[in-house]
Amino acid sequence: MASPVYLFTGFLDSGKTTLIKDTMDDAGFMDGVERVLIICLEQGENAYDEKWLEEHHAFIEYIDNAEDLTPEKMHELDTIYHPDNVFIEWNGTLPVSDTLLEHMPNFWMLVQILTTVDASTFGIYVNAMRSMMFEQIRWSDTVIVNRCTEDTSGTLLRGNIKAINPRCQIYYEGAFGAPVTMKSGILPFNIDDPVLNIKDDDYGLWYMDAVENPEKYDGKEIILRGMYAESIPGYKQTFILGRRAMVCCAQDTSLCGLTVTNVDIAQMKKGDWIEVQGKLKTLPLENGEGKTVVLYADSARFYQKPADEYVYFS
């Protein structure tokens, strides 16, 4: 039976080692695990001491170059340690290797990728080193945002992380894993207004909230402005309205779009900018997993393309 592999990535001192230790301190998670191998490609301030390793029946291997973690090296380590679980502490400045994503040997199986994010430095890193952060988050199943305070911007964190990887789960923690309630994250519009007039700069914040909380918008009157992104084959009154979020660079974007119906689209074409007013309705997704919102339009008109067409989450 293949040994499960857990990959931990994130910038230096973002909390990877602490997360690995906390995981290994969880008796429920470690139930039945007798031997653990930790492969460390980066050493921060929080180290693994010999006593702790011995108490947890854990062995550690330090690897300087990611290219050295080949299937052949994995076979060597498996032969030496016979691990029940493998934890890999990745170097957050490097992309996750193809070996881990696609070419794992049959005796090891990558089951989860976790990314740690330091909330106190996130704003700096996402602006100055977005491509590196993109590589950390793009494959993650779970993102743990630590060192949050009540003044941390939840919308900035959630919006940027979800733009990179919409499927990941996000958990927010205070210092040392303590629970935290963030004041910010409040939407820049009043959900109780009779008509939600979503400004260009606020489209991203509205979109992410609607994706995560579709039922909150059921029956709401709204004005949205975006690009005619796609037509839907077989439908003459329905199209996808959206705006593009910059994921890594201007050449790498993702569409934040929703379905608009009850519109005469005969004169519209892909790339046109449209202002639509109507009511939102919450509907189940086709696969039955969750819900989405659809805009039933009462009116639609052409709209001047904004100076900055990209979506932002702050």
Specify whether 29 is located in the same domain as 147.
yes
- Which pLDDT tens digit goes with each residue over 235-253? 999 999 999 987 776 667 8
Q: Does 120 share its domain with 17?
A: yes
154 pLDDT higher than 90: no
Do 170 and 240 belong to one domain? Answer: no
pLDDT of 186 over the 70 cut = no
Query: How many domains in the chain?
Result: 2
Say which CATH number the domain at 32 has: 3.40.50.300
- Quick: pLDDT tens for 259-285: 999 999 999 999 999 999 999 999 998
Query: pLDDT, tens digit, for every residue of 211-227?
Result: 989 999 999 999 999 99
22 inside domain? yes
pLDDT at position 117 over 90: yes
In a domain, 33, yes or no: yes
Same domain assignment for residues 80 and 107: yes
Is residue 37 assigned to a domain?
yes
Question: Which pLDDT score, from 0 to 100, does residue 142 have?
Answer: 96
Residue 184 included in any domain: no
Q: What CA–CA distance (Å, rounded) separates 204 from 155?
A: 9
Same domain, 127 and 238: no
Report, as an integer, the average pLDDT of 97-109.
Answer: 95
Percentages helix, strand, coil for the chain (3-state, rounded to 5) are 25, 35, 40
pLDDT of 190 over the 80 cut: yes
Among 47, 51, 20, 17, residue whose Cα is nearest residue 36: 20
On whether residue 268 sits in a domain, the answer given is yes
- Asked if 205 and 168 sit in the same domain, the reply is no
CATH code: domain of residue 230:
2.40.50.140
Same domain, 203 and 264: yes
Query: Has residue 73 been placed in a domain?
Result: yes
Residues 63 and 90 in one domain: yes
pLDDT at position 314, please? 65
pLDDT range class, residue 1, cuts 50, 70, 90: confident
What pLDDT score was predicted for residue 250?
64
Measured distance CA(103)–CA(100) in Å, rounded: 6
Domain hosting residue 42, numbered range: 3-177
Do 105 and 9 fall within a single domain? yes
Residues 262, 163 share a domain: no
Looking at the fold, whether 12 and 86 belong to one and the same domain comes out as: yes
Predicted pLDDT of residue 313: 73
CB 134 within 8 A of CB 248: yes
Q: Which of 108, 142, 177 is the last residue of a domain?
A: 177
Judge if 164 and 296 occupy the same domain: no
